[in-house]
Structure 1
């Protein structure tokens, strides 16, 4: 028998396991609050000095220079170590109760089969299979328990700040959707926290979460069923959807595009433009643009994430003119949308509206 739930999260197998993950969460919180600011500060200071040098150094030179800053060394080591410890702790605990968890998934699938579509012949794209995203063992598709592990891992990532989905519920309000939408699509929905958040915001809407990974969708479906929130989950590639032209009122891509190669990202934007109704909105919440030659601590952090945390496409995304890509398919693009009286932290919101 597993431990009690933590918010909307399935409990660990034992108190020892839960305590271990809590310890890792505390380590991450310490690193984010004490060490990472020192890394960023050191990067900014060294970068400012490099700006005066000729020839002008590259960001790679700044990244290497931080190897000699003790605070940066500590921050980097803790980022990598806590990530690996997080996956080990969450994966190990759920494998101990795998039978119980599989039964929970099957119960939801028996109770609400019409709300989950899994394609047994689905072929995962090579770019997706090539790397364990965020270092999660087996990636999101090759471990039957990936949804459970991801959700517990996200508790550590958010250092407990999203245990009841409150961050996703807030982010759902960042999308400027007017009136009473009939259909909303959540691109790359993962375990469906933003999907259920949309349903709570618009109870009368038909809300769909789409994702490549079957284990994530199975978990998202079971979780939504337990919460009593009726949303649809489908295994699909966001670059080739089955929705008809002009059939969707609003779409969201939350923390998705930095995980995609450029050509796939363009295909997804094109598909969003196709399925949206005239006047419909496509909201993208993701990393902000960083000039390729910027010598800063935040730039070094993004490169670290790419090289040491399974984010191979993130540098190309933040360096690219993503706004230009959006403008190639939408006439009305707000590249830096700001919700009223809300801080978006380190994220940038881009809103596209299809011409009426």
Structure 2
């Protein structure tokens, strides 16, 4: 795994905050530290739990740990877990800190480039200074990103998007590919394989941030009108310029996924990529209802994320739920306890069309192809499920539902 971390470097584009020599060294250290934690410290949690934490809990409680909450109670007092959790949090903060200097140094030139590029994108850009950003986005710095996703200092500000683009690449340790778009590519591949003949002409990506996962849909369906929406204006302004810099006309609009304002039956395909756990218990059912309203008859909804808790063993639940406790992801665990199939049914989707499935990671398929030869191919292909938002193992869990034909 260690070798794999450095195989992929982020693909350059005209508005990327490229680091200088010293900045790149600090960023590589932050990325590698995160890899060390997942590759070396994380595997030790299982033996620690089995050898002493679970036994201590059973002695004190008079019973074995029953669920992830009990496992957490057993583990939080253990020095090894405390070391792991503290180091993981520090690594997350270091990632953002290592990028901020680059962003501040290069921001004026990136702003100029973004303005020129955005004018070349033939698809629309829509942001509003008075947009009511949901509190679940503004209440804390999600993923410890300084200022949060939506912080804006003016109608033309793109700084949060610049920071996010480089920072999330490091956060994902390169496993999302050179343009950090593995989720979108994986879902596109899934559609091509499993829905032959499905050719959407209007596609909506909910919670798109800087459009990492949005752009693959324009590549896969070049005749479609592709639109990304998000509540964060700086992300969208940056996304619009980034798309143009990568040669794609994709529209970006500041809209709330729970109440988009688009007309009924506007889209053939609605997707999201790690969106739902960033919302809330109130917003998530509303998003499902909005998807149903916006889809044309026969249209498809696909939400890509990590699996719900009922598809995991309790210890894996505990590991992933650390995102809730230590990475400013308050809805992470709660979202995975919701019955998403029922939410889709309540929104109007026929039960027989709703299912969970796995979309294999596009980057893993690429690494194992005959056309790709690298020393670390085996390390990636054998990668196991690991902690974190961008660490699903071999594939992304997708929730799929289809609106009935009318």
Instruction: Tell me the TM-score normalized by structure 2.
Output: 0.79
**Which range moves more in the overlay, 64-73 or 320-329?**
64-73
**Which range moves more in the overlay, 175-184 or 212-221?**
175-184
Assess, with a 3 A threshold, how the Cα gap between structure 1 residues 203 and 113 changes in structure 2: closer, same or farther. Answer: closer
**Which range moves more in the overlay, 235-244 or 164-173?**
164-173
**Which range moves more in the overlay, 206-215 or 46-55?**
46-55
Q: 2:398 aligns with which of 336, 349, 353?
A: 349
Do 2:149 and 2:235's aligned partners in 1 also have CA atoms closer than 8 Å? Answer: yes
- Please say if 1:134 is aligned against 2:143: yes
1:335 corresponds to: 355
> Any idea what the Cα deviations from partners look like across 1:144-190, whole Å, max 9, x if unmatched?
41111111112212212322345232333234554321101001011
Do 1:43 and 1:297's aligned partners in 2 also have CA atoms closer than 8 Å? Answer: no
RMSD value over aligned CA atoms?
2.7
Secondary structure of 2:298's partner?
strand
1:124 corresponds to: 133
Do 2:121 and 2:249's aligned partners in 1 also have CA atoms closer than 8 Å? Answer: no
**Which range moves more in the overlay, 209-218 or 234-243?**
234-243
2:37 corresponds to: 31
2:293 corresponds to: 274
- Distance in structure 2 (CA, Å) of the matches to 1:106 and 1:202: 27
Do 2:274 and 2:304's aligned partners in 1 also have CA atoms closer than 8 Å? Answer: yes
Do 1:172 and 1:194's aligned partners in 2 also have CA atoms closer than 8 Å? Answer: no
- Distance in structure 1 (CA, Å) of the matches to 2:214 and 2:274: 13
**Which range moves more in the overlay, 72-81 or 84-93?**
72-81
1:308 corresponds to: 326
Do 2:305 and 2:398's aligned partners in 1 also have CA atoms closer than 8 Å? Answer: yes
**Residue ranges of structure 1 left out of the alignment (5+ in a row):** none
Q: 1:238 aligns with which of 223, 237, 257?
A: 257
Secondary structure of 1:317's partner?
helix
1:172 corresponds to: 188
**Which range moves more in the overlay, 28-37 or 188-197?**
28-37
Do 1:199 and 1:207's aligned partners in 2 also have CA atoms closer than 8 Å? Answer: yes
Do 1:286 and 1:347's aligned partners in 2 also have CA atoms closer than 8 Å? Answer: yes
Assess, with a 3 A threshold, how the Cα gap between structure 1 residues 25 and 179 changes in structure 2: closer, same or farther. Answer: same
Do 1:337 and 1:350's aligned partners in 2 also have CA atoms closer than 8 Å? Answer: yes
CA shift for structure 1 position 275:
0.8
**Which range moves more in the overlay, 173-182 or 276-285?**
173-182
1:7 corresponds to: 11
Q: 1:16 aligns with which of 3, 12, 22?
A: 22
Do 1:94 and 1:145's aligned partners in 2 also have CA atoms closer than 8 Å? Answer: yes
Do 1:41 and 1:297's aligned partners in 2 also have CA atoms closer than 8 Å? Answer: no
- Distance in structure 2 (CA, Å) of the matches to 1:265 and 1:233: 21
**Which range moves more in the overlay, 37-46 or 201-210?**
37-46
**Which range moves more in the overlay, 154-163 or 184-193?**
154-163
Assess, with a 3 A threshold, how the Cα gap between structure 1 residues 333 and 62 changes in structure 2: closer, same or farther. Answer: same
1:147 corresponds to: 161
- Distance in structure 1 (CA, Å) of the matches to 2:64 and 2:38: 30
1:66-145 equivalence runs, <5 A:
66-112=75-121, 114-143=123-152, 144-145=158-159
Assess, with a 3 A threshold, how the Cα gap between structure 1 residues 230 and 341 changes in structure 2: closer, same or farther. Answer: closer
> Any idea what the Cα deviations from partners look like across 1:201-223, whole Å, max 9, x if unmatched?
11111101000001111111111
CA shift for structure 1 position 11:
3.9
- Please say if 1:158 is aligned against 2:172: yes
2:303 corresponds to: 284
**Which range moves more in the overlay, 113-122 or 49-58?**
49-58
**Which range moves more in the overlay, 311-320 or 346-355?**
346-355
Instruction: Tell me the TM-score normalized by structure 1.
Output: 0.89
CA shift for structure 1 position 69:
4.1
- Distance in structure 2 (CA, Å) of the matches to 1:84 and 1:139: 13
CA shift for structure 1 position 8:
4.0
